[in-house]
Amino acid sequence: MSEKYIHKKTLKDKLNSPGMLNILYVPVLILFGTFLIYPFFKGIQVSFTNWDGYSQIFKYVGFQNYKQMFADSDIVTVIYNTIVYGVGSTLFQNIFGLAFALLLCRQTKLNAVGRTFVYLPAIISPLIMGYIWYFIFQYDGGALNDIIKLFSGSQTNLLASTKANVWIITGINSFQFVGVSMVIYLAGLQNIPHDYYEAAEIDGASYWQRFLNITVPMLAPSITVAVVLNLIGGLKLFDVIWSLTNGGPGYSSCSLSTMMYQLYFAKQEAGLAASLGILMFVIITIVSVIALAGFRKREISQ
Amino acid sequence: MRDRNGKLNKILIIVLIIFYAVPFYILTTTSLKKDMDVSSKWKMPSYLYLNSFTNAWSKANLGHAFLNNIIILVISMTALIILGSLAAYPLARNKSRLNKFMYYLFVSAMIVPPLSILVPLYQFYSRIHAMNTFWGITLIHLTFQLPLTIFLYTGFIGTIPRELDEAALIDGCSRFGLFFKILFPLLKPVTATITIVTGVNIWNDYQFSLFFLQKSQVQTITVTLSRFFGEHANYVSWVAAGSLLGSIPMIIIYLFLQKYFISGLSSGAVKG
Amino acid sequence: MKKGIRLITALTAALMVTSSSLMGCSSSKSSSSSTSSPVTLSMYSNITDVAFQNTIKEIASNFEKENTGIKLDITFPGSEYENILKVKMASNEMPDIFDTHGWAQLRYGNYLMDLKDSSWVSKLDSTIKPVVTDSKGKVYCLPLNEAKDGIIYNKTLLNKYGIAVPKTVDELVAAAEKISKASNGQIKPFFLSGVDNWMVGQLVDVMATPMLISAKTNSADALLNKSFDWSKWNTMGDFLLKLKNEGLVNEDVLTAKSTDLPKRFAEGKTVFCATMLSVADDVKAIDSSVELGVMPAPAFDSTDTPSFSGGERQTLGVWKDTKYKEQCLKVLDYFAKQENQEKIATVGKYPSALTGISVASTFQKDFDSNKDTRVFAYFDRVYLPNGMWDVICKNGVKLLAGQIKSSDYSSVMKSEFTRLSTK
């Protein structure tokens, strides 16, 4: 009878082992395998062809697309743009996201209204926000120019400047999506017990000391999440650019995403677009994995 | 000292609200104006004219599109939260090398540009008759929102001390069961976050809904609105009215979920 | 623990029930191919004008009434039409009937059924016939109407300043300069959109014919046998730059959208624009007193005469792998009928491509007064390889933005021409 008991125990133990839990992500793995990984490898295959995106026939051309890609001056501009979009957005959205979360974390009605309005642009579909931005930035009859005309008498065409438009778009993107970081920080702030703050106050710590020694370390996981998400989102930026400038004039405000789209559909160069997609994937993966690993380390050391 | 801080805070908040209300305000003024009214976008019209809303509603077939959006949202969100939280559990608790690899694999799925997989996916869907179906688009939404979901859940499960797990195990709970009894209830704030963030992505999805839900019976709001904008780009007030109508549901859901971000439920467990 | 498992099972079951019931709701393909059981044909068109769409739907429903076994499921995807169809082509899953909008042979050719035995083929007029027929006699599509494009102008403004319709490029620029001066620089005569850069391409395309093709000594043969001297393209770049530098183009050219155009015409801020005839309805809706006209593209050389760019506008083609060949042909025959062609010509503004159809549409007066004006097939569709359109548009905008010079425009055209011709 004791033998049976031992048997049951070991089977139950196996089922209860941490390793067995891994079964829980198998459905997700299958989904990704079918819907992402397989098509993604097909995409890699396309990057070695001269496919136009719609014919049933194509030719294999080896590394020609990759060679063409690196020789193209427009692409260098676009890579630079993409990094500005990614790093710039992340910087703005995290600094302001945290600031707004701290400002708006109490349960007053005013705070609730504030939280709603800051998140509002992130809720509205990018398609619609594009129209709103157009109403604001339009040269003739746009809201911004109405104000500028009042003060200086002349109008401005902000998005036409090929040097400034990337930064303006980064700014608009940050304004629009800072609410997402704010929400992540709000949820994170929630997990910090009030006792810690009370204890620190009793000890005579100032606001800044409390912030640096309690809030920031306890928010480490939130910071990781917010930074990595903003980085990936910013590097992948598409909708905001598309609705404001279509990537133009020329390719001056294109990100890797929008350029890939234009290469595929407008220029009918599916092979080149695919190789750009691989480049984009590699760049974003390297940047985000470094960020993720780096911030996770900080998390653990806290 | 405290009072001054409070007042300063209040002023800052009000400035912020004004700043962020601007886009919304301009959208509202534009939607309430008659078609030929070309007055400045800052001025509220002096008359009441709601025809743009009725026009946008009927011509963009918004009623039907709303229904489609809601169905897709509910199914996708339910599947997303279940699959995502369950998948994040082993990734957060069992940090084996395999799991670390899986974690990075899942997160890097966020980076795949949708265009890269569009055509192979389209071909696949045509063959399995998944075109213009709700379950077809749900699977696509799952594919693109699961990485983010798993990422957020893994991060936040990580902040829940393992002592709670161990306590439950000692009490006789299985590892699977302890998820439902102990962990999931504590994930309310991040579940609310995920609901809002991914819910908005699903509600506002354009790229996939455009290609995979082409028939008018199954079109979503973004697709019908975009078509409507293309047909009536002249009628700025209609465009603005349609935009407002399309955004309202998500705003309401956000207002409702706000309570959960700030509910303070989670700190209970950590204190104990 | 048990509760948890029960919860999960319940939710999963609910999920499965909901999704399987929805699977049932999804549209299923009808598998029958015999003519007796009801058949649904899918039809796609890129028509964005609502009135035109309604006319098509009306003709379709009349067809359904006379042919009770056939149903037409029409989709108008709008501006995303071309992208959607490209993805469909890649998956080899085309609609049964679709619009080829100018690209029947060049893009959609391999997916189209030969229509040469249809009754309306003999009625194709002489300008459209070579466009939709290839050297082997295959007829690619039924043209619903025919392009006749030049430059759309603000008749009201030209009349106001007492200017006659320009016949040469010099006259065109002079007219623009006159109006600009008379209005103290308030009116910028030409409208171009940098964001919707097809507008730049459209102007270049219609002007390329007088520049390179319509004069007695022209480059048509040189282009066809690939011996063309691309430094001749500098004239195009110089033309665009001249307009821009003299302040004759809208100031916000780089950020304006094509949807801004109707308002500018209506408010008398724009005089000339190379765009589609459908803009007339949008302008009328804003200010019905403003009249628009269409003029052929003016000649570069004073010994030459103006010309229209012609070819396909809206068409209907049949997928070569459709399951319902007979039914699709019936639909096309129906759209080719006289009364339907007349309806289409009236609402679509472009003339019918079939002989013997004439209606009084908005621009008919201008077409009549230009009865003898030559119509050349669209320059880019004949002389440029597939894929050059984007090159023309993108680099035209770069030129206007000051990012490249005229000579750069020409060298990019040359290198892309060479690369795409050898694909």
Going by their DSSP bridges, the two strands C272-273 and C151-154 should be labelled as antiparallel
Are C162 and C298 in a shared domain? yes
Predicted confidence at residue A4, as pLDDT, reads: 55
pLDDT at B158: 82
Confidence of residue C8 (pLDDT cuts 50, 70, 90): very low
- Which chain A residues are closer than 8 Å to B38 by Cβ? 141
List the CATH number of the domain containing C225.
3.40.190.10
In a domain, A53, yes or no: no
First-to-final CA distance of chain B: 33
Residue C233 has pLDDT above 50, yes or no: yes
Whether residues C263 and C295 fall in one domain: yes
Report the chain C residue with the minimal C-alpha distance to residue A250. Answer: C398
Residue B265: the pLDDT is 33
- How far apart CA C338 and CA C330 sit, in angstroms, is 15
Residue of B nearest to A42 (CA): B120
Asked if the model's pLDDT at residue C22 lies above 60, the reply is no
Domain boundary (C352, C383, C409) is at C352
pLDDT tens, C32-73? 444 557 899 999 999 988 899 999 999 999 999 999 999 999
Average pLDDT over residues C360-383: 92
Average pLDDT over residues C361-378: 92
Q: Tell me the pLDDT band of C4, cut-offs 50, 70 and 90.
A: very low
pLDDT for res B43: 82
Question: Which tokens belong to B23?
Answer: 């886009």
Nearest to A281 among B24, B111, B158 (CB): B111
Instruction: Specify whether C90 is located in the same domain as C203.
Output: no
Three-state DSSP state, C319: strand
B39 & B147 share domain = no
Domain boundary among C295, C328, C352: C352
Chain A CB contacts of B266 below 8 Å = 190-191
Domain of residue A151, residue span: 63-301
| A51: in domain | no
A156 touches chain C (CB under 8 A): no
Domain assignment of residue A150, yes or no: yes
C202 and C332 assigned to the same domain: no
pLDDT in tens, C248-288: 999 999 989 888 899 899 999 999 999 999 999 889 888 89
Would residue C13 count as lying in a domain? no
Q: Which of C5, C7, C87 sits opposite B119 (nearest CB)?
A: C87
Based on the domain organization, do C223 and C330 belong to the same domain? Answer: no
Return the pLDDT at C28: 41
Q: What is the reported pLDDT for B172? A: 83
When divided into structural domains, chain C yields a total of 2
Write out residues in chain A with pLDDT < 70, as ranges: 1-16, 301-302
Residues C236 and C343 in one domain: no
Q: Is A242 near chain C, with CB under 8 Å?
A: no
Domain assignment present for residue C33? The answer is no
Q: How many CB pairs under 8 A join B and C?
A: 101
Q: Subunits with at least 3 CB pairs below 8 A relative to chain C? A: A, B
Check pLDDT > 80 for residue C318.
Answer: yes
What percent of chain A shows pLDDT beyond 70?
A: 94
ipTM: 0.84
- Specify which residues C74 forms β-bridges with: C43
Q: Is residue A22 part of a domain?
A: yes
Q: Which of B14, B29, B49 is the last residue of a domain?
A: B49
Domain co-membership, A3 together with A133 = no
Q: Is the confidence at residue C360, as pLDDT, over 60? A: yes
User: What is the rounded average pLDDT of the residues B174-178?
Assistant: 82
pLDDT given for residue B3 in this prediction: 53
Q: Is the pLDDT of residue C17 over 60?
A: no
C413 strand-pairing partners: none
C29, part of any domain: no
From A24, B177, B185, select the one nearest C5 (Cα to Cα): B177
The answer, for A290 touching chain B at a CB cutoff of 8 Å, is: no
Contacts of A24 in chain B (CB under 8 A): 86-87, 89-90
- For residues A237, A242, A245 and A250, what is the CA-based torsion angle, rounded to 10 degrees? 80
Interface test with A, best of B8, B9, B10, B13 (most A CBs within 10 A): B13
Give the DSSP letter string of B20-49: HHHHHHHHHHHHHS-TT----TTSPPSS--
Tell me, yes or no, whether C49 lies in a domain.
Answer: yes
Q: Span C160-177, mean pLDDT?
A: 95
C280 falls within a domain: yes
Domain check: are A255 and A214 in the same one? yes
DSSP output for C231-264: GGGHHHHHHHHHHHHTT-B-TTTTT--GGGHHHH
* Collapsed DSSP state (helix, strand, coil) of residue C75: strand
How many distinct helices (H) and strands (E) make up chain A? 17, 0
Please indicate, yes or no, whether residues B90 and B176 belong to a single structural domain of this protein: yes
The letter for the amino acid at C206 is: V
Structural domain contains residue C371: yes
Task: Give the range of the structural domain holding residue C320, as residue numbers without chain letter.
Answer: 39-145+313-352
Pick the more confident residue, A133 or C138. Answer: C138
What pLDDT, on a 0 to 100 scale, did the predictor assign at position B268? 31
For residues A181 and A230, the answer to whether their CB atoms sit within 8 Å is yes
Q: Which residues of chain A lie closer than 8 angstroms to B143, CB-CB?
A: 31-32, 35-36
Angstrom distance (rounded) from CA A291 to CA C76: 45
Query: Residue B56, by phi and psi: left (phi above 0), alpha (psi -120 to 50) or beta?
Result: alpha
A54 → closest Cβ in C90, C195, C256: C90
Task: Tell me if A125 and B246 make a contact (CB, 8 A cut-off).
Answer: yes
pLDDT at C213 over 70: yes
Asked whether the beta carbons of residue B133 and residue C22 sit closer than 8 angstroms, the reply is yes
Residue C327 has pLDDT above 80, yes or no: yes
Note whether A125 contacts B247, CB cutoff 8 Å: yes
In this structure, the answer to whether residues B21 and B119 fall within a common structural domain is: no
Q: For C132-159, what is the mean pLDDT?
A: 95
Whether residues B94 and B36 share a domain: the answer is: no
Same-domain pairing of B260 and B205: yes
pLDDT digits (tens, 9 = 90+) for B91-142: 988 888 999 899 988 988 888 888 888 888 898 898 889 999 999 999 999 9
Look up residue C229 and give its DSSP letter.
-
Q: Residue C371: pLDDT above 50?
A: yes
Residues of B in contact with C18 (CB under 8 A): 75
Per-residue confidence at B46, pLDDT binned at 50, 70, 90? confident
Q: Specify whether A99 is located in the same domain as A178.
A: yes
Q: Do B227 and C76 make contact, defined as CB atoms within 8 angstroms?
A: yes
Residue A246 CA, distance from chain mean position: 19
Side chain identity, residue C316: L
Tell me the pTM.
Answer: 0.87
CB burial of C202-240 (b: ≥16 within 10 Å; e: otherwise) equals: bbbbbbbbbbbbbbeebbbeebeeeebebeebbbbbebb
Distance between CA atoms of residues A9 and C331, nearest Å: 74
CB contact under 8 A, B180 and C4: yes
SS3 at position A81? helix
Contacts across the A-C interface (CB distance below 8 Å):
82
Cα A151–chain centre separation: 37
Q: What is the mean pLDDT of residues C113-130?
A: 94
Are C403 and A160 within 8 A, CB to CB? Answer: no
Q: Contact, C138 vs C154, CB < 8 A?
A: no
Same structural domain, A168 and A263? yes
For C74, phi and psi rounded to 5 degrees? Answer: -100, 135
Do A78 and A138 have their domain in common?
A: yes
pLDDT of A99-108, one tens digit each? 999 888 887 8
Enumerate the residues of chain B whose CB falls inside 8 A of the CB of residue C77: 210, 214, 227
Burial class for B43, CB neighbours closer than 10 Å (0-12, 13-18, 19+): exposed
- The boundaries of the domain holding residue B145 are 51-270
pLDDT value of residue A212: 84
Among candidate residues B254, B117, B266, B125, the one with its CA nearest the CA of residue B199 = B254
User: What's the pLDDT score for residue A5?
Assistant: 56
Give the 3-state secondary structure of residue A104: coil
- A11 and A153 co-located in one domain: no
Mutate which of A21, A24, A45, A54 to test chain C, going by most C C-beta atoms within 10 A?
A54
